[in-house]
Amino acid sequence: MREIEALETMDEFKDDTYNSFLEYTDLKSRSVQEPSVLYVKEGHEFLSEWTYFGQADGLLVVETKGETKIC
């Protein structure tokens, strides 16, 4: 059986869900305090993914006309 290196599979793995997760975790990591609300701008590229991630983290997810932010 051939062992597959992690980077080999990541090079071939182009998935918007993974990219949206990276952006979500980056936004979350920049939060000064423990976040409780995720505001996602209407029509955001990753609206459905971020809604899922936010709910999984126990955040209240609000779709807004303002900017995307986490508080």
Are residues 64 and 44 in contact, defined by beta-carbon separation less than 8 angstroms?
A: no
Q: For position 56, what pLDDT does the model report?
A: 94
pLDDT band at 67 (very low <50, low <70, confident <90, very high): very high
List the chain domain ranges.
6-70
**Polymer length in residues for the chain:** 71
What is the model's pLDDT at position 47? 94
pLDDT at position 32, please?
87
- Neighbour tally for 38: CB within 10 Å: 25
| pLDDT tens digits along 21-58 | 999 999 999 998 899 999 999 999 999 999 999 999 99
